[in-house]
Chain A
């Protein structure tokens, strides 16, 4: 009954979304009239005339309002559908196919709720729900200054939403139920003739990999990031369609883009943390196509965040920003497509699912339409200013964009190469970490370098001399730091280059910060801490950005550490036998096997850890076998310090017993800096993106001051 209701709600939502997008589109008959006018036949000219007659301001306004209300209605509707689904999940309604697939009786209630996004159908519904929430938020804002954008923003948002809701309703419906028919048990939307409802005793249970706390938050974060990038895209398309090609759309969506970026970055970091804690391969990032699918929109999104500043300050790169936001949007959909359609994993899962071609068609349509729009409006998106110096901030931002695009090219090619190779030569290939690391390594290094010098350069003009003057002190300190590292820590050239760049970025950024605070301290007679505080508050975007740069440098330390200095060993130990690695001595003390409360059998080893003969504590690597899903998980025992992590796995393909168990032991230097960096990142982005009291007025003021002081940031 409830499942049928849920199906009905989804169906209604789909039609409401369609209504909203059509009404929004037709509220502006002029656009269509213009389209028909361009086709030189008598009939189309007549249609154009008729359409123009329809175009009255009152009618347009009421239609837009109607579309807006319909769009606002989708959120409570999808929430209702989601509520029904959660009810079914929590109450063990295994006659519902989705519930059967992702839950089981032994799962705790909170996991039954989060199982919502643990399977295909549910996660698409989750996507739609977030999309609808964001679209509603956007339409609730004051629109008086930007009336003409509204219908097209609604149109784009509802177009996206209609696609996802349509797919959830007609192809991947989470409310499908099992029916026993004469030919067997199958899942249907509606009860077929001669059938009775079939209720399995228990469900399959959630994939154990998805039961980790990290995985509970990771997909929502990633999806939030994905979905919030739809908003800047919607505004960009609205700007293109209406022909209002000033940078209004960028100012309106700047904060959305920042929040989107926050969620996407958090999603990626949490994904890394989850991989580190659960996947049991000693790392956080494996250049897996699924990871890259989420990384690619991050790259274009990051490039976008930088290049919009050029448009705001200098009125340049209007085309480029449009292209970036379109790329980001389609990469978001492409990412969802890659992970959901099975185009990359040949043997498994969704290969026969209908959603692959649907996603593909959708990407093709939106991409082609967006590019066509950009080409159509190309001439109107002219640049206003010129570039004066190759070392000016705008020029450096351009190099930054080039680097991000280059990394994107490498990643995209890495994902697509196996496909092309199979098509053209018949040989399947694997593109593993070695390819990405080799190709991206220099690009990342160059990015770090830019991150160091960009804050020093001014808008408009900078020369080697000005840069050198600002940079020489931090550079000397960075060189000293590197020399010290050479003497004390490592002789590895790549590591030294990396650490030099990291030191360079951190020192220059801090130096910049300090100079600003000193200037303020002098002129305003504040003490240095108040000066820091006020300086940040004065230009939050700039100083938030600096903090983000610092956090990226900290993350780079972690990445350098684990990439270049990770050591590992594998060996079979008998009870009380020891093995040593990287200064640690590990003793195999005990092993126990017991049944956990949530339907798993746990094999847990106890290892004593010593350093220089001193006892540091026990570690408990374990293997969890889940009865319902018939899958094992290897959970590492970890001991984290700022210097390194000791990371021990109980190897699950060898027998684990008191007589002997096989362990894989990693020492991962500096990896903790990565997680520290991500916390600092959070702080930075909150500073940069926290809403101003009155964004409209501040925006106007900033605009004025920019015109007056062209060098000011």
Chain B
């Protein structure tokens, strides 16, 4: 299929160019895919792009069933990725809720639970079990988790009032103090 039509002659330049463009393109795709895999999660210091989180009914934020990150400018945002099937998530659920009840009256901090690859039925059972009251919603089409490039659940992202990521927690929190320790700097 690549036998030359005119033997004893070199490959025409334009064919050479086509071949090289093809090869480089192919390699570039694999390289980009690979570098994406190597990146890890979004790094602290990065400004987080706007995204929309649809909220479960009963877990709305200020009566709104849909919340944009940009709506929360001026407030510190704690984004917690979790799932009802995830055992380690259960370790920190009570602590997160406790931290939320502490910060809720101040109005300076918003907690957003992003439910990763979960069914609503089971999510509700889980939230009820741990008495969770902060805003929660499904990660529709896994677009939010893809943006943050999460590597698993639970992971928690701390965003300051200007919308810049300040800290990433991989795995569950053990103590409420640890959560507080990450929120306090965001309020200054």
Chain A contact residues (Cβ within 8 angstroms of B): what range?
A: 35 or more
Complex contact A402–B146 (CB within 8 A): no
CB-defined contacts of B181 to chain A, threshold 8 Å: none
Name which of B30-38, B70-78, B105-113, B162-170 contacts chain A. B30-38
CB-defined contacts of A612 to chain B, threshold 8 Å: none
Decide yes or no whether B57 CB sits under 8 A from chain A: no
Q: How far is the CB of A337 from chain B (nearest CB, A)?
A: 9
Q: How far is the CB of B145 from chain A (nearest CB, A)?
A: 10
Inter-chain CA distance A379–B19, complex, in Å, is: 17
Decide yes or no whether B9 CB sits under 8 A from chain A: yes
Complex contact B3–A352 (CB within 8 A): no
Inter-chain CA distance A349–B10, complex, in Å, is: 46
Decide yes or no whether B58 CB sits under 8 A from chain A: no
Q: Please, what's the 1-or-0 string for B129-152, where 1 marks a CB less than 8 Å from any CB in chain A?
A: 000000000000111001000011
Complex contact A341–B3 (CB within 8 A): no
Inter-chain CA distance A580–B146, complex, in Å, is: 45
Inter-chain CA distance A378–B11, complex, in Å, is: 7
Which single residue of chain B is at the shortest CB-CB distance from A416? B29
Report whether over half of chain B's contact residues are helix, strand or loop; otherwise say mixed: helix
Decide yes or no whether A420 CB sits under 8 A from chain B: yes
Inter-chain CA distance A402–B2, complex, in Å, is: 11
Q: If the complex has contacts A360-B31, A422-B33, are A375 and B1 also in contact, measured as CB distance less than 8 A?
A: no
Inter-chain CA distance A368–B26, complex, in Å, is: 12
Decide yes or no whether A686 CB sits under 8 A from chain B: no
Name which of A161-169, A317-325, A620-628 contacts chain B. A317-325
Complex contact A419–B3 (CB within 8 A): no
Decide yes or no whether B8 CB sits under 8 A from chain A: yes
Complex contact A401–B32 (CB within 8 A): no
Q: How far is the CB of A328 from chain B (nearest CB, A)?
A: 15
CB-defined contacts of B146 to chain A, threshold 8 Å: 426, 428
Most buried by B among A357, A405, A419: A419
CB-defined contacts of A293 to chain B, threshold 8 Å: none
Complex contact B151–A419 (CB within 8 A): no
Which single residue of chain B is at the shortest CB-CB distance from A378? B11
CB-defined contacts of A423 to chain B, threshold 8 Å: 29, 32-33, 36
Complex contact A379–B40 (CB within 8 A): no
Complex contact B38–A402 (CB within 8 A): no
Q: Please, what's the 1-or-0 string for A380-413, where 1 marks a CB less than 8 Å from any CB in chain B?
A: 0011000000000000001001100100000000
Inter-chain CA distance A461–B9, complex, in Å, is: 28
Decide yes or no whether B121 CB sits under 8 A from chain A: no
Most buried by A among B34, B37, B152: B37
Complex contact B7–A382 (CB within 8 A): yes
1-19 of chain B: CB within 8 A of chain A: 1-4, 7-11, 16, 19
CB-defined contacts of B11 to chain A, threshold 8 Å: 375, 378
CB-defined contacts of A420 to chain B, threshold 8 Å: 29
CB-defined contacts of B9 to chain A, threshold 8 Å: 379
Which single residue of chain A is at the shortest CB-CB distance from B151? A347
Complex contact A383–B3 (CB within 8 A): yes
Q: How far is the CB of B160 from chain A (nearest CB, A)?
A: 26
CB-defined contacts of A323 to chain B, threshold 8 Å: 2
Complex contact B7–A383 (CB within 8 A): yes
CB-defined contacts of A319 to chain B, threshold 8 Å: 2-4
Which single residue of chain B is at the shortest CB-CB distance from A367? B23
Complex contact A352–B40 (CB within 8 A): yes
Complex contact A343–B1 (CB within 8 A): no
Q: If the complex has contacts A319-B3, A371-B19, are A343 and B8 also in contact, measured as CB distance less than 8 A?
A: no
Complex contact A416–B30 (CB within 8 A): yes
Decide yes or no whether B27 CB sits under 8 A from chain A: yes
Which single residue of chain B is at the shortest CB-CB distance from A427? B141
Give 12 new A-B contacts, CB below 8 A, not counting A319-B3, A398-B1, A416-B30. Answer: A320-B1, A320-B2, A351-B151, A356-B38, A360-B27, A363-B27, A364-B31, A368-B23, A379-B7, A383-B7, A402-B1, A423-B33
Could you list which residues of chain B lie within 8 angstroms of chain A, going by C-beta atoms?
1-4, 7-11, 16, 19, 23, 27, 29-34, 36-38, 40, 141-143, 146, 151-152
Could you list which residues of chain A lie within 8 angstroms of chain B, going by C-beta atoms?
316-317, 319-320, 323, 341-343, 346-347, 351-352, 356-357, 360, 363-364, 367-368, 371, 375, 378-379, 382-383, 398, 401-402, 405, 416, 419-420, 422-423, 426-428
> Shortest 5 CB-CB distances between A and B: which pairs?
A382-B7, A419-B33, A378-B11, A343-B34, A379-B10
23 residue pairs from A and B, CB less than 8 Å apart: A316-B3, A317-B3, A343-B33, A346-B37, A356-B37, A357-B34, A360-B34, A371-B19, A371-B23, A375-B11, A375-B19, A379-B9, A379-B10, A382-B4, A401-B1, A402-B1, A419-B32, A419-B33, A423-B29, A423-B36, A426-B146, A428-B142, A428-B146
